Amino acid sequence: MSIKGIVVSSGVAFGQALHLNLHHEKIDYRRVSPAQIPNEQRKLEQAFNKQKCHLEEGLAKLEVGTEHYDLIEADILFLDDESLLELVANEISQLQINAAVAIERIFSDQAAELEQLEDPYLANRAQDVMCLGSRLIARLSGAQHLDLSRLTEATVILAHDLTPAEFAMLPLQHISGLVLNTGGLTSHTAILARSAGIPALLSCRFERSQINDGDAVVLNAIDGELHLKPTAETVARLTHLRQQDEAHKQQLLLLKDLPTTTLDGHSVGLLANVGSLNEISHLTDVGAEGIGLFRTEFMLMNTNTIPNEKIQYHFYCDALHLMDGKTFTIRTLDVGADKELPCLNPACEDNPALGIRGIRYTFAHPEILTTQLKAILRASNHGPIRLMFPMINQVEELDTLFELIEQCKIRLNEEEKGYGELSIGIVVETPAAVINLESMLPMLDFISIGTNDLTQYTMAADRTNPQLTRDYPSLSPAILTLIQMCIDSAKRYNVKVSLCGELASDPIVAPLLVGMGIDELSVNLASLLEVKSAIRVISNTACLEMAKHARKIKRIEELNLYLTGLSL
């Protein structure tokens, strides 16, 4: 039996199934009857005890003095405080609420108190306390913890959803595949899975009851199928498919040192999207010409504090060293919406994707932005850096940013720290940015079209919602029109135009983008050679024809058929 899903990272994976149920169910806020109160208090005590045992087990495996050790120890001490348990138990009886609601109330109060403290270490603990509360609530509803330290087998992870931060914590060496009920091609977890080269299927409607932990499953993330209880025939067929896939990847490696040029000699920049030093060190494996998008928020997924200026400066210098003079485009922190970071306080907004995210988040926390800007300015003294700002809508935002950069330079002068000059660009990822582009282009050295968010905001379709991913893809007449508007405007102002959304990583679409006049494509590492191969086997004349025809197509399905037909 097999279940369909959307391939977001291709490959074939064999392994043992493991369900991850990390999140608690919705909290039930109804009052409980007086008779239920002792039961709720008993459940509360059990949850505290189980959580403490779990943390103590974790602590035993860690080295004393490491940051991780200290954090776990602090959580244990917090839970050990008997007056805390008493406080929550009293809340249950006084307000006649269940244990989950009481934990939520008391832990929020405790976190709010910590947040007010002057000491930044204690203020940061607020986040940990909220997290601990949420884990206790999860315990009450039987959800698990992200403790995969004992995994040794090749494991196919099955979950309802997984945040990018949770993905970043998985022991990837033991994970052969990933299958989620939610998500789509451009969700950030998908992007991370692709970067890590882990075959992944999202929007896959498996039921928890269909698969037991430990069952052998096969993930065919080429045709988009998860096979349960695979027959010997299926295993043989998919083993063969995997061999073919690996042979194809080997074949592509032969292109690594060849230029990204069409048959008639038109060159296109082919850069990579990355999120860690590790990925930067793999650029040469696929012959990337540089980095078109460095998602700096990805390097913060796994830490509990934001690195200071010095640490960031050293980090960018290390990256420059690895880049060896190649194009290096750093995007400033782009957080919010589906990219919540453990080191930042989550914003409580009704509509996070339309709220304080991207550049708005860093405007609201200028010290985070200036620390990053100063570190990048200093690093640019050691090599060329293109600096790119996310979620820019209008010229006023650029005015503020240019002003901030000047202030950072003044501070660096005062601190007698050297800095270099930066090329400045923006990610064009909202319809407003496209419409306002001509007012901003005179201030910019380059732009990069972020089709992931551009699609989300143009279509008013949440990029992580599996019910919408099929009907509102980036490859659509509306998005192609906006891309063309950007390219035409950029050319009028002689500004380089790149495209860093996932659309660029699709080898079927890349020649179309070339025909539309794109200067550079920035793609995920796993797709880079596929894209290069697609560009090298076509002429620019054919790309121009393709663009002329495709731009006249009015329907998404027809556009797909036209492009897949051409690639057959």
Q: From 57-65, 145-153, 247-255, 446-454, give the range in contact with ligand PEP by CB under 6 A.
A: 446-454
Quote the least distance from Cβ 452 to Mg ion, whole Å.
5
Q: How far apart are CB 501 and ligand PEP at their closest, in Å?
A: 3
Of the candidate spans 31-39, 226-234, 237-245, 451-459, the one that interacts with ligand PEP by CB under 6 A turns out to be: 451-459
Where would I find the beta strands (DSSP E) of 203-254? 216-221, 225-228
Copy the structure tokens of residue 289. Answer: 């010409």
Residue 295 binding partner per list Mg ion, ligand PEP, none, with a CB distance cut-off of 5 to 8 Å that depends on partner kind:
ligand PEP
Q: By CB under 5 A, name the binding residues for Mg ion.
A: 429, 450, 453
Is the CB of 225 or the CB of 429 nearer to ligand PEP?
A: 429
One-letter amino acid of 221 = A
Q: Which is nearer to Mg ion, 75 or 429 (CB)?
A: 429
Please report whether residue 452 would count as binding ligand PEP according to CB under 6 A. yes
Q: How far is the CB of 463 from ligand PEP (least distance, A)?
A: 8
- 184 vs 515, which CB is nearer to ligand PEP? 184
Question: Between residues 89 and 330, which has the closer beta carbon with respect to ligand PEP?
Answer: 330
Strand order through the sheet with 200-202: 2-4, 225-228, 216-221, 11-20, 155-159, 175-180, 200-202, 6-9
C-beta nearest to Mg ion: residue: 453
Structure tokens at 509: 């679409």
Q: Quick check: 500 binds ligand PEP (CB under 6 A)? A: yes
Per-residue b or e along 107-120, where b marks 16 or more CB atoms closer than 10 Å to that residue's CB: beebbeebbeeeee
| Number of residues lying near ligand PEP (CB under 6 A) | 11
Token output for 442: 């005179």
Interface of this chain with ligand PEP, residues 275 to 314, rule: CB under 6 A: 293, 295
Degrees to nearest 5, angle at CA 564 with 561 and 568: 130
Least distance between ligand PEP and beta carbon 427 (Å): 6
The dihedral formed by the CA atoms of 32, 35, 38 and 44, expressed in degrees to the nearest 10: -20
Three-state secondary structure string covering 346-390: CCCCCCHHHCCCCHHHHHHCHHHHHHHHHHHHHHCCCCCCEEEEC
Binding ligand PEP (rule: CB under 6 A), the pick from 289, 309, 334, 506 is: 334
140 to 199, contacts with ligand PEP by CB under 6 A? Answer: none
451 binds, among Mg ion, ligand PEP, none (CB under 5 to 8 A by kind): ligand PEP
Residue 194 contact among Mg ion, ligand PEP, none, beta carbon within 5 to 8 Å by kind: none
Question: Toward Mg ion, which CB reaches closer, 309 or 429?
Answer: 429
Task: Pick one of Mg ion, ligand PEP, none as the site partner of residue 500 (Cβ within 5 to 8 A by kind).
Answer: ligand PEP
By beta-carbon proximity to ligand PEP, the closer residue of 135 and 331 is 331
- Given ligand PEP, Mg ion, none, residue 515, with its beta carbon under 5 to 8 Å by kind, binds none
Smaller CB separation from Mg ion, 174 or 463? 463
Nearer to ligand PEP, 217 or 449 (CB): 449
The distance from CA 229 to its chain's CA centroid, rounded to whole angstroms, is 31
Instruction: Give min distance, CB of 522 to ligand PEP, in A.
Output: 8
Asked if residue 513 binds ligand PEP (CB under 6 A), the reply is: no
- Nearest CA among 171, 172, 220 for reference residue 200: 220
- The DSSP bridge partners found for residue 219 are 13, 226
Give the interface segment with ligand PEP, choosing from 142-150, 245-253, 348-356, 447-455 (CB under 6 A): 447-455
Task: Give the C-alpha separation, 307 to 315, whole Å.
Answer: 10
Give the three-class secondary structure for 169: coil
Among 164, 177, 287, 450, binds ligand PEP (CB under 6 A): 450
Cα–Cα distance for residue pair 541/263, rounded to 1 Å = 9
Window 368 to 427, contacts with ligand PEP (CB under 6 A) = 427
Contacting range for ligand PEP; rule: CB under 6 A; set: 21-29, 107-115, 449-457, 560-568: 449-457
CB of 451 to ligand PEP, least distance (A): 5
The rounded distance, in Å, linking the Cα atoms of 187 and 523 is 15
Least separation in angstroms between residue 399's CB and Mg ion is 22
Strands (DSSP E) contained in 166-305 are 175-180, 200-202, 216-221, 225-228, 269-274, 290-295
DSSP class of 294: E
Task: Let me know: does 423 contact 385? Beta carbons within 8 Å.
Answer: yes
Provide long-range contacts, Cβ within 8 A and 24+ apart, for 363-369: 363/397, 363/400, 366/404, 368/306, 368/333, 369/332, 369/333, 369/404
Q: Which of 545, 309, 349, 353 is nearest to 457 (CA)?
A: 353
Strand pairing of 200-202 and 269-274? Answer: unpaired
Q: Report, in Å, the least distance between residue 199 CB and Mg ion.
A: 24
**Residue 286 or residue 479: which is nearer to ligand PEP going by CB?**
479
Among Mg ion, ligand PEP, none, the one that 204 touches (CB under a kind-dependent 5 to 8 A) is none
State the catalytic residues. Answer: 188, 500
Could you tell me which stretch among 255-263, 410-418, 444-452, 477-485 binds ligand PEP (CB under 6 A)? 444-452
What's the CA gap between 529 and 521, in Å, rounded? 12
Shortest distance (Å) from residue 289 CB to ligand PEP: 18
Minimal distance, residue 401 CB to Mg ion, in Å: 17
Q: What is the largest CA-CA distance in the chain?
A: 81
Say if strands 423-428 and 175-180 run parallel, antiparallel, or are unpaired: unpaired
Tokens of 498: 């790149």
- Residues facing residue 497 across a β-bridge: 447
Stretch that binds ligand PEP, among 117-125, 445-453, 507-515, 531-539 (CB under 6 A): 445-453
| Among positions 296, 451, 476, 524, the unique one binding ligand PEP when judged by CB under 6 A | 451
**Within 142-231, where are the H helices?**
164-168, 188-196
Give which of 306, 425, 429 is closest to 375, Cα–Cα. Answer: 306
Q: How far apart are CA 501 and CA 481, in angstroms?
A: 15
Q: Which is nearer to ligand PEP, 124 or 522 (CB)?
A: 522
Chain residue at closest Cβ approach to ligand PEP? 450
DSSP-derived 3-state class of residue 329: strand
501, interface contact from ligand PEP, Mg ion, none, CB < 5-8 Å by kind: ligand PEP
Residues that bind ligand PEP (CB under 6 A): 293, 295, 334, 427, 429, 450-453, 500-501
